[in-house]
Chain A
Amino acid sequence: KAGVTQTPRYLIKTRGQQVTLSCSPISGHRSVSWYQQTPGQGLQFLFEYFSETQRNKGNFPGRFSGRQFSNSRSEMNVSTLELGDSALYLCASSLASLAGVETQYFGPGTRLLVL
Chain B
Amino acid sequence: GQQVMQIPQYQHVQEGEDFTTYCNSSTTLSNIQWYKQRPGGHPVFLIQLVKSGEVKKQKRLTFQFGEAKKNSSLHITATQTTDVGTYFCAGNRRNSGGSNYKLTFGKGTLLTVNP
B contact residues vs A (CB 8 Å cutoff): 1, 30-31, 33, 35, 41-45, 48, 88, 90, 92, 95, 100-108
24 example contacts (A-B, Cβ-Cβ < 8 A) are as follows A35-B105, A42-B105, A43-B105, A43-B108, A44-B105, A45-B103, A45-B104, A45-B105, A48-B102, A56-B102, A59-B1, A92-B43, A98-B100, A100-B92, A100-B101, A101-B103, A103-B33, A104-B33, A104-B43, A104-B45, A105-B45, A106-B42, A107-B42, A108-B41
Cross-chain contact of A104 among B1, B35, B100 (Cβ < 8 A): B35
Main secondary structure of the interface of B (DSSP, over half): strand
Contact B100 A106 (CB under 8 A): no
Residues of B within 8 A of A104 (CB): 33, 35, 43, 45, 90, 103
> Size band of the A side of the interface?
20 to 34
Chain B's closest residue to A43 (CB) is B105
Instruction: Report A-chain residues with C-beta under 8 Å of the C-beta of B31.
Output: 100
- Chain A residues with a Cβ under 8 A of chain B: 33, 35, 41-45, 48, 50, 55-56, 59, 90, 92, 98, 100-101, 103-109
Known: A90-B43, A101-B92. A42 touches B100 (CB 8 A): no
* Chain A residues closer than 8 Å to B43, beta-carbon distance: 43, 90, 92, 104, 106
Determine the distance from Cα of A76 to Cα of B108 in the docked complex, in whole angstroms: 24
Q: Which residues of B contact A33 (CB under 8 A)?
A: 103
Q: How far, in Å, is B96 (CB) from chain A's closest CB?
A: 11
Contact A55 B108 (CB under 8 A): no
